[in-house]
Amino acid sequence: MATATFGAGCFWGVEEAFRRIPGVIDATSGYAGGTMDDPTYEQVCTGRTGHAEVVRVEYDPSKVAYGRLLEAFFRLHDPTTPNRQGPDVGTQYRSAIFTHDEEQAREAAEFKAALDASGAFGRPIVTEIAAAGPFWRAEEYHQRYVQKHGGASCHI
């Protein structure tokens, strides 16, 4: 099993979309990239903790490649808008890839550079790529939110 962590705006639909990929074992909503231990949703929403809303993806690399997860990540959101996804504005909604080893860091950087060079988005990609630090699981009411409450999920 391997782990990948992505920030693509509000985590609800992103979590649900990653769950649907064959080879993904689990997806968990949470917070990463900040300076405070065990932040709450309310604290993260202030934009003062430095955290991004993220989804931690546990996957079987023999069934799904990290590159496929990167492909999905870039389809799930607009990676050209700094600190914003749709109506959600703030650093907690930034586009981010938190890598768990050197291979992920290399692959993410190469994928981002190739996509940016292709002009696929018409604007420069601003996605942050950083080493994964602590992951803080979001409150239970955020987990599997789309399954529990319905609503739109992202399509990949």
Q: Tens of pLDDT along 106-135? A: 999 999 999 999 999 999 999 999 999 999
Global pTM reads 0.92
pLDDT of residue 156: 45
Establish if 113 belongs to a structural domain: yes
pLDDT of residue 143: 76
Confidence of residue 155 (pLDDT cuts 50, 70, 90): very low
Establish if 156 belongs to a structural domain: no
Q: At 37, which CATH number? A: 3.30.1060.10
pLDDT digits (tens, 9 = 90+) for 131-142: 999 999 997 777
Domain count within the chain: 1
pLDDT of residue 151: 64
Q: Considering the candidates 4, 8, 10, 72, report the single residue annotated as catalytic.
A: 10
Establish if 154 belongs to a structural domain: no
Establish if 40 belongs to a structural domain: yes
Q: Catalytic: 154?
A: no
Establish if 155 belongs to a structural domain: no
Establish if 58 belongs to a structural domain: yes
Range of the domain at 58: 2-148
Q: Is the dihedral of CA 126, 127, 129, 135 positive or negative?
A: positive
pLDDT of residue 39: 97
DSSP string, the chain: -EEEEEEESSHHHHHHHHHTSTTEEEEEEEEES-SSSS--HHHHHTT-S--EEEEEEEE-TTTS-HHHHHHHHHHHS-TTSTTEETTEESGGG-EEEEESSHHHHHHHHHHHHHHHHHTTTSS----EEEE---EEEPPGGGTTHHHHH-------
Establish if 97 belongs to a structural domain: yes
Establish if 116 belongs to a structural domain: yes
pLDDT of residue 79: 97
